[in-house]
């Protein structure tokens, strides 16, 4: 039961990351503001596209591991992946115009990745015998 819940949460996380990454292509200035930083683009959206493709790729990897039922790979990916929202949070908090409220989505992502990564790695494999 715990594994199924972890897979469900991971799938939602992966789909959410794909959505958030896609926003950096569709609406880059809005996505950047909601990420928690101000960015003077002057027509150059290079940063947005880099951030967007990183999020889309990360979300796809998570979704693929869920769909392939790769419990350990998913657990390791989630656990190692905590470095992304952790660094994002530090970037957001380093800006004088931000408060903890702009860092909350990153903190939630850190907790989700860490908790469910550990759960997936701690869960024993259920082998099917014929």
**In the predicted model, is pLDDT for residue 36 greater than 80?**
no
**In the predicted model, is pLDDT for residue 128 greater than 60?**
no
Query: What confidence category does residue 127 fall into, taking pLDDT thresholds of 50, 70 and 90?
Result: low
8-state DSSP, 36: T
Exposed/middle/buried for residue 25 (C-beta within 10 Å: 0-12, 13-18, 19+): middle
More confident residue, 35 or 114: 114
Q: What is the pLDDT of residue 46?
A: 86
pLDDT over 90 percentage in the chain: 61
8-state DSSP, 82: T
Number of residues in the chain:
130
More confident residue, 125 or 130: 125
Q: How far is it, in rounded angstroms, from Cα 98 to Cα 19?
A: 24
Q: How far is it, in rounded angstroms, from Cα 101 to Cα 90?
A: 13
Query: What are the pLDDT digits (tens) for 91-125?
Result: 889 988 888 888 898 999 999 999 999 999 998 87
């Amino acid at each position: 039961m715990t594994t199924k819940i972890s897979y469900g949460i991971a799938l939602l996380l992966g789909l959410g990351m794909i959505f958030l990454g896609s926003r950096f292509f569709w609406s880059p200035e809005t996505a950047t503001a909601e990420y928690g930083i101000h960015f003077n683009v002057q027509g150059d959206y290079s940063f947005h596209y880099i951030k967007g493709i990183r999020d889309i790729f990360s979300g796809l990897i998570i979704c693929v591991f869920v769909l392939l039922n790769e419990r350990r790979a998913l657990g390791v990916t989630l656990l190692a992946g905590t470095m992304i929202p952790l660094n994002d949070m530090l970037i957001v908090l380093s800006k004088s115009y931000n408060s903890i409220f702009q860092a909350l989505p990153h903190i939630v992502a850190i907790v989700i990745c860490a908790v469910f990564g550990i759960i997936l790695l701690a869960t024993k494999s259920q082998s099917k015998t014929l």
